[in-house]
Amino acid sequence: MRKVLVTGFDSFGSWSVNPSWLAAQAVDGEVIDKALVVSRRLPVLYSEIRSSLLQLLSETQPDAVLLTGLAGSATAMRVEAVALNLATAPAFGDNAGCRPYKTALVADAPAALFSSGAVHAITRRLDQAHIPVSLSFSAGTFLCNAALYHALHIAKAETAVVFLHVPPVIGMDTAAARPPEMKFDLLVAAYRVVIRELLRRGCSDLTAEEWFSGETSTE
């Protein structure tokens, strides 16, 4: 049976609840399009993020990887198209207080890596499912970006890897500046949509020009 690894993050900063992990837990153990979903939580720690991903990828040997994390200011899903080889933490740092500034995640590695999943098709599929979404070309420079970069750097070439930034959700203890607009059930539905599209599409075969044009079919 095929496997899909889904990750969410631990709580961090002023966020006592991280919906990315709660939604990952909600789909853990499900069989979607004949593939088993295996969900795991990632630490909000620069010192452990790469080793955690190495261990998870080795243990699960997934056919596809859906990484997720909280974007506190977002009101919609963001499908991340690229990860930077750069770490700059916010003022509060990671959960150990580590605050790198303009530091490379991996020495002597590419400055940026494109997602290996079909991000244009995933974005369109979410939109077709009436789930608020946008395609993003900046995953930030905190642990979400680090997770995507490390996963792309580590994973096998044939493994599709995608990162989904999620907004705060209604009814959860939240540090959001404005009231959340996303329902938790819709967040979980979005995970299922992305998983199905990852399994259907596999790795992206876009050229550099297609990455930015978005002129790709979802059929």
Q: How many CA atoms lie within 13 A of 90 on its CB side?
A: 14
Q: Report whether pLDDT(46) > 90.
A: yes
- pLDDT higher than 90, residue 181: no
**Three-state DSSP class for 133?**
strand
The two three-digit tokens of residue 152, written as one number? 């792309």
C-alpha 62/C-alpha 3 separation (Å) is 5
Half-sphere exposure of 117 (CA within 13 A, CB side): 31
Q: How do 77-80 and 133-136 pair as beta strands?
A: parallel
Q: Which residues contact 177 (CB under 8 A, 6 or more apart)?
A: 72, 73
pLDDT of 73 over the 90 cut: no
Torsion of CA 218, 143, 30, 219, to 10 degrees: 0
CATH of 2-213, one of 3.30.70.20, 3.40.630.20, 3.40.50.720, 3.30.750.24: 3.40.630.20
pLDDT at 208 over 90: no
| Average pLDDT estimate for 149-175 | 90
C-alpha 159/C-alpha 60 separation (Å) is: 12
Q: Calculate the average pLDDT of the chain.
A: 91
pLDDT tops 70 at residue 23: yes
Question: What are the extents of the domains in the chain?
Answer: 2-213
State the catalytic residues. Answer: 80, 144, 165
Q: List the single range of 2-16, 59-73, 92-106, 204-218 with lowest mean pLDDT.
A: 204-218
Three-state secondary-structure class, residue 46? helix
pLDDT at residue number 218: 38
Q: pLDDT at residue 206 above 80? A: no
- Over residues 90-142, the pLDDT tens digits come to 999 999 999 999 999 999 999 999 999 999 999 999 999 999 999 999 999 99
Torsion sign over Cα 161, 213, 79, 12? positive
Question: Residue 217: pLDDT above 60?
Answer: no
